Amino acid sequence: MSIPPSTALVTGASRGLGRALAAELVRHGRTVLVDARHEDALAAAVAPLTDADGSIVPVAGDITDPAHRSELAARAGSLGGLDLVVLNAGTLGPSPLPAVDRLSLDELRQTLEANFVAQVGLVQVLLPQLHPRSTIVAVTSDAGVEAYPGWGAYGAAKAGLEQLLAVLAVERPDLRILRVDPGDLRTQMHQDAFPGEDISDRPEPEVVVPALHALIRGPLPSGRYRLSEVSLPQEVA
């Protein structure tokens, strides 16, 4: 089994899967740099973690802002570099989800910027801060590999990010790059995708975090993984 990461960055950590994973990493003694667009929401999310075994470093900002991406890289450097990067921040795009023939090109550009272009920009500025054998996790979706009505903008952005990171994994075999599909979760983004519908049958993000943590800590190589198919080792079950 690989050595667990000691210092991590988790983007989009004010709610949902990002907040749940950041909490798990801090509980396991990691130093975790976290970001989110809204400072108040981020502060509220990290407040319960101040007494955990690890430490948490919040930096509010939007990853589509180059200055914020540079600030995250600088803070990572001040922490001695990173062993783990989790690309979790992103946007659903327009809601309700429009068909392709009604998709605003401005909204398409915004979705691609947040879910694809800015993610690549963040990886680029963080690469010099990554330790050898570091892990990059991109939180993706089945919408990136399957065709669902209304999911054109979001799915196209995720598909583009997946392919680019697959190429990066070939170019940088010294890194482990995981493209992770967490499945449908009970999050605000998922609710926005289905306005007015009851999504209480979807699991809370905390339910899948043990599998995600096991994948991060484990020996599996670069590739695409569905959390529903990740086996939990006995020590983290």
Alpha-carbon distance 35 to 2, whole Å? 26
Q: Is the pLDDT of residue 72 over 50?
A: yes
CA R_g for the chain: 17
Domain ranges in the chain are: 7-229
- Per-residue pLDDT reduced to its tens digit, 163-209: 999 999 999 999 999 999 998 988 888 888 888 889 899 889 999 99
Q: Is the pLDDT of residue 236 over 50?
A: no
Question: For residue 112, what are its two tokens?
Answer: 């691609």
154 a catalytic residue: yes
pLDDT recorded at residue 1:
37
What is the mean predicted confidence (pLDDT) over 70-84?
97
pLDDT recorded at residue 192:
83
Please tell me which of 2-11, 56-65, 225-234 the model is most confident about, judged by mean pLDDT.
56-65
CB-count burial class (<10 Å; 0-12, 13-18, 19+) for 219: exposed
Options 3.30.420.40, 3.40.640.10, 3.40.50.720, 3.90.700.10; CATH for 7-229 is 3.40.50.720
Which of 61, 154, 178, 185 is an active site residue?
Answer: 154
Reduced 3-state DSSP string for the chain: CCCCCCEEEECCCCCHHHHHHHHHHHHCCCEEEEEECCHHHHHHHHHHHCCCCCEEEEEECCCCCHHHHHHHHHHHHHCCCEEEEEECCCCCCCCCCCCHHHCCHHHHHHHHHHHHHHHHHHHHHHHHHEEEEEEEEEECCHHHCCCCCCCHHHHHHHHHHHHHHHHHHHHCCCCEEEEEECCCCCCHHHHHHCCCCCCCCCCCHHHHHHHHHHHHHCCCCCEEEEHHHCCCCCCCC
Tell whether pTM > 0.85. yes
In what order do the strands lie in the sheet containing 31-36? 55-60, 31-36, 7-10, 82-87, 130-139, 176-181, 223-226
pLDDT recorded at residue 219:
94
**Sequence-distant (≥ 6) Cβ neighbours of residue 74 within 8 angstroms:** none
- Per-residue pLDDT reduced to its tens digit, 28-61: 999 999 999 999 999 999 999 876 677 999 999 9
Q: Is the pLDDT of residue 5 over 60?
A: no
**234 — pLDDT class (breaks 50, 70, 90):** low
3 vs 58, more confident: 58
- Per-residue pLDDT reduced to its tens digit, 94-152: 999 999 999 999 999 999 999 999 999 999 999 999 999 999 999 999 999 999 999 99
pLDDT recorded at residue 53:
73
pLDDT recorded at residue 191:
87
Give how far Cα 158 sits from Cα of 31, 76, 142, 172, 195, Å: 28, 25, 9, 20, 21
Alpha-carbon distance 138 to 11, whole Å? 10
**231 — pLDDT class (breaks 50, 70, 90):** confident
Residue with tokens 């920009």: 121
